[in-house]
């Protein structure tokens, strides 16, 4: 019989301690490709939700492996706050978000405006705005709408586009950027 806890330290606690040391020792990357494709030892995501008051600041990938418990927390955090439904988010979107954040060299967390959207929420939003796609990637857990106070929509979109790994929408009038792991494309102004 094996005990997963050694002297009160869990596997997750050990990974967290390792991640903290790896964060200090992690090299700085100058191109998005290396950051996105796993050239580093860790991947971190920082977000908060003005709607729920929740925040997440976590390392979700270490040494080539996603941390399942942390990924579950991210999935819940990115839920449809209107219906409280959650879905397994496509980790490629999380990777794009993390890589773009790192490229912008900011410590400020993203404000998550929209992650997963259930079909009912998407239909309601679509009835109020022409900017909401009928078959939105939000409904399959492949998109996020994000804002940063310290960076412009243009700066955020440029960082996300540098990843060349999905869609980037600029919504300057509403002050947010859409990032997804769908086909590489861009839109908005």
- The answer to whether residue 78 scores a pLDDT higher than 90 is yes
Locate 95 and state its tokens. Answer: 């990777």
Predicted local confidence at residue 157, as pLDDT = 98
* Alpha carbon distances (Å) from 61 to 12, 157, 168: 12, 24, 23
- Segment 26-42 shows an average pLDDT of 50
- Segment 22-39 shows an average pLDDT of 43
pLDDT tens digit string along 99-129? 999 999 999 999 999 999 999 999 999 999 8
- The answer to whether residue 16 scores a pLDDT higher than 60 is no
pLDDT tens digit string along 121-171? 999 999 998 888 899 999 999 999 999 999 999 999 999 999 999 999 999
CB count within 10 Å of CB 178 equals: 26
End-to-end CA, the chain? 60
pLDDT tens digit string along 80-90? 999 999 999 99
Nearest CA to 106 out of 143, 177, 159, 34 is that of 159
Report the C-alpha dihedral over residues 40, 109, 105, 93, rounded to 10 degrees.
50
More confident residue, 4 or 182: 182
CB count within 10 Å of CB 91 equals: 18
Cβ neighbours for 2, distance < 8 A, ≥ 6 positions apart: none
* Predicted structure pTM score: 0.79
- The answer to whether residue 24 scores a pLDDT higher than 70 is no
């Amino acid at each position: 019989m094996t005990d997963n806890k050694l002297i009160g330290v869990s596997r997750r606690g050990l990974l967290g301690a390792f991640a903290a040391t790896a964060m200090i020792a992690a090299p700085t990357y100058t191109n998005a490709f290396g950051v996105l494709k796993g050239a580093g030892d860790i991947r971190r995501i920082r977000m908060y939700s003005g709607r729920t008051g929740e925040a997440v600041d976590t390392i979700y990938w270490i040494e080539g492996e996603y941390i399942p418990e942390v990924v579950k927390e991210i999935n819940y955090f990115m839920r449809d706050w209107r219906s409280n439904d959650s879905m397994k988010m496509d980790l490629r979107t999380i990777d794009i978000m993390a890589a773009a954040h790192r490229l912008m060299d900011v410590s400020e967390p993203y404000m998550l405006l929209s992650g997963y959207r259930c079909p009912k929420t998407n239909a309601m939003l679509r009835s109020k705005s022409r900017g909401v796609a009928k078959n939105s990637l939000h409904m399959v857990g492949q998109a996020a709408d994000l804002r940063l106070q310290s960076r412009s929509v243009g700066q955020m979109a440029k960082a996300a586009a540098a990843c060349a790994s999905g869609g980037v929408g600029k919504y300057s009038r509403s002050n947010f950027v859409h990032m997804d792991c769908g086909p590489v494309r861009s839109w908005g102004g």
